[in-house]
Chain A
Amino acid sequence: MTKRNAILCVFAILTIFSYAREYGDSAIYQGINVKLDLGNTVYELARSKAKIQSYEVAVNVMLKRRFLPTLELGFATAQTSAAGGKHIGTGGFGRVGLDISTLKKAGTESLLLVGVRLGTAVQGYELQDVRIWDTYWQTNTLKSYPTSVKADVWGEVVAGLQVKIYKGFHMGWFFRFKAMFTRQTNDKPVPYYIPGYGYRQDTNFGFNYYIGYKF
């Protein structure tokens, strides 16, 4: 990104937030929430000893005190292994979707949310020391696949909470059920870990703990 583009981005974000502040209490629009995920980041750092690192931010807009169109962006890097080989990958991911506040009395401060997401990730990855089993002849051949790029797409159903802590600050969590839409094409090596999705399985679970600020 050039310096000129960076300045334009900053101006665009400031314009949106100033608009959010000015019109934040209308009947239709009740502000923008910016959230930083801490739960997933800390969990992955602790569990994998930083071999997997995942970072993400989320932005949503509250409309009509009940509907929250959401954009989530993140980045992950993974060095992980299974019985058949090692995966090294780095990539970004994004999710778009909608949350709905399910509390009977619609409000803007404490929310019980359910929603859906469509997620996609693009990553560069390589597979190393992939095992070729040959038990009778007792040959132990290892194969490496060079760096390639792959995109994956999945869907999510989410449920979570958002509660006000102090002034504009709030926190909350999301539980996610994920289903992979991209299928493994026959015999082509595919990434073992997918940024924003987790390990490659047909279905997966996720958890986020957010700290956020409402503009």
Chain B
Amino acid sequence: MTRKRYTQAINEALHEEMGRDPKTILFGEDVALAVFGDTRGLLDRFGPDRVRNTPICEATIAGMAVGAAAAGYRVIIHMLFSNFIYTGFDAIANQMAKLRLMTGGQIDLPITVLAVYGGGASQAAQHSDSNHPVLMNLGGIDVLVPATPGDAKGMLKTAIRNNRPSFFLQASGLGAVGGDVPDGEHLVPLGKASVAREGRDVTLVNVGSMIRATQNAAKKLAEAGIEAEIVDVRSLVPLDETTIVESVQRTGRLVVIDEARDMCSAASQIAAVVADKGFSALRAPIRRVTVNNVSMPYAPNAEAAIFPNADDIVRAATALCQPEVAAA
């Protein structure tokens, strides 16, 4: 086990997987200089055939990923900010998500799309979306939101290696955050949530970028006598419904924390699953801590007001626990 930063863990995964399979190629905007640090050193090591800077043309980057994968390559593309997915969306939603079905399974599409998502750094509305719900709704595409360096490395390696199209979404606020990463070959299965903290009173389901706020909230809640269980969802498609529902069966209460806009967020889906499959265990309504249905503003104070934080989570969880807390 070695302590590494989130970005460094991603960089290692890319180096290892490109080293492992010579048919793995990577292209996208500014991958040579690695503006986020994640693709650093790949061009020098693997050369300009396999690592290419593209023009700024997301529609073609995403479409080429489909064509090159259909023609036998294992493809990694970098979309930079996840907002830029929108300019490449035909190739993602109409081609990448559907080609395997439409061809009756004649091909696999081993494609991994890297993109950095989320706000919190005054990047303003067009560089701050948490747009995983848009991708979750497509069907046929894995949506991964690792929250720790260890999971980032292990899940990225699994995603590159399997034959499914996947979006590996990197939380913009987590890039410099450190964490333990197992040494040697480290693969994390997809579609498995992890219980990051055990607790008896309330389940906090974290979606990707909100992990620190969720952890801080759990600490504050503990100080107030409420023991929160944190389920880090890790992967939204496939979604580990079992781990989430089982946790709620233990605690009877659920708060889902998601940086997406509230409407049709990942939190909405998780709430629906628990309402459907864990209804009898619920002792209180389900709460979602999300972003209002607004775009992220620029000004630091305005963004902070919109951005979900630990206090929002504490408030939501405390309200759910109120009768018992009062009785105790």
A and B together in one complex: no
